[in-house]
Amino acid sequence: MQRKIGKFLQHLHVERAASPHTLKSYREDLETLVEYFQDNQGQCPDPGSLTSVQLRGYLSALHDAGYAKASIARKLASLRSFYRYGQREDWVDSNPAKALRNPRKAKKLPHFLGTSEISKLLGAPSGDTPMGLRDRAILETLYSAGLRVSELVDLGDTDIDFPQGIVRVRGKGRKERLAPLGSYAARALKRWLKNRILSSKLPAGSAAPVFVNRFGTRLTSRSVGRMLEKYLSLTGLDGRTSPHTLRHSFATHLLDQGADIRSVQELLGHKSLETTQIYTHVSTSNLRAAYEKAHPRAK
């Protein structure tokens, strides 16, 4: 089992250019399967011999152990991918995970900030210091382009096209898309780039990272999260807010202002329209609240 898992992860890394985060998730999901069989049978059988019934028992054990439905669904998706690879490599005839049903997930509305809250947050960083200029540029860019934080920290100088008002983004699976860059974000970025100090340790000739730390090296996603926590404390905004909240806010505000859902899907880089549709629930609830407040015979 461990040998086949290792080869599967290598396949994801080399042939599918999976990110370190994706590889870590697959590894953890499959190690949970190994641990289940080791705990219950003393050893893990060869994956080619496992049946749908045995895998269903594994998923049931995850449910009994208190795993969230979303976590169980992700582990099942990892199993399906693992066995599809096994079919390609001829160590299994059929995919025993294919027939298993995903647990029904309760749809959770994404947390987002209102437009006044967004303005308060984006105005919080000081414009008098290089780090303040950087932080404002980060927040403006996250909201303006609807980026994931991993996409933001991956940006290089050559990914920004100021004349066109766009940034080139590498999303999940290294899939590229073009994202819009509003005038506020463009101004904030230009001010930051004039004050940025790059480390001499960066490889010669490489595209410089747009966002760096005080030592001049590329910023990490965790550092962006810590930076945001500082400004949430300063402004008194909802502590549930994360860098991804700005992406949620981007999508919600576009739909509230009449953008069509397929355009928002493209801007977010969602593969499936179903993923984007969660924001229509938020938008509809806002419309309902506005209707009940304004219409004389709404209640």
Three-state SS annotation for the chain: CHHHHHHHHHHHHHCCCCCHHHHHHHHHHHHHHHHHHHHHHCCCCCHHHCCHHHHHHHHHHHHHCCCCHHHHHHHHHHHHHHHHHHHHCCCCCCCCCCCCCCCCCCCCCCCCCCHHHHHHHHCCCCCCCHHHHHHHHHHHHHHHHCCCHHHHHCCEHHHEECCCCEEEEECHHHCEEEEECCHHHHHHHHHHHHHCCCCCCCCCCCCCECCECCCCCECCHHHHHHHHHHHHHHHCCCCCCCHHHHHHHHHHHHHHCCCCHHHHHHHHCCCCHHHHCHHHHHHHHHHHHHHHHHCCCCC
Return the structure tokens found at 269: 């880089």
Q: Which CATH architecture has domain 2-88?
A: Orthogonal Bundle (1.10)
Mean pLDDT of the chain: 88
pLDDT in tens, 225-272: 999 999 999 999 999 999 999 999 999 999 888 888 888 898 998 888
Tell me: the pLDDT tens digits for 165-212? 999 998 877 788 999 999 999 999 999 999 998 876 766 555 789 999
Q: Which of 226, 257, 256 is nearest to 138 (CA)?
A: 226
pLDDT confidence of 102, banded at 50, 70, 90? confident
Q: Decide if 279 is catalytic.
A: yes
Tell me which of 4, 75, 136, 148 is the catalytic residue: 148
Task: Please name the residues in contact with 282: beta carbons below 8 A apart, sequence gap of 6 or more.
Answer: 109, 110, 112, 252, 255
Distance (Å, whole) CA 156 – CA 187:
17
Superfamily of domain 115-293: Intergrase catalytic core (1.10.443.10)
Taking each helix axis as running N to C, give the angle between helix 2-14 and helix 20-41, from 0 to 180 degrees, rounded to the nearest 10: 170
247 is catalytic: yes
Q: Starting from the edge strand earliest in sequence, which strands make up the sheet with 166-170, in order?
A: 160-161, 166-170, 176-180
Q: Quote the pTM value.
A: 0.63
- List the one residue out of 9, 42, 45 whose CA is nearest residue 26: 9
Q: Which of 172, 177, 184, 191 is catalytic?
A: 172
Active site residue 172: yes
Residue type, 23: L
Angle at 132 between CA 184 and CA 237, to 5 degrees: 80
Boundaries of every domain in the chain = 2-88, 115-293
Q: Is 270 designated active site?
A: yes
Location of structure tokens 């981007």? 250
CA 16 from chain centre, in angstroms, equals 18
* 11: annotated active-site residue: no
Judge whether residue 289 has pLDDT over 70.
no
Predicted confidence (pLDDT) per residue in 261-274, tens digit = 888 898 998 888 87
229 vs 297, residue with greater confidence: 229
Choice among 134, 196, 247, 248 that is catalytic: 247
Distance CA 63, CA 206 (A): 47
pLDDT of residue 298: 58
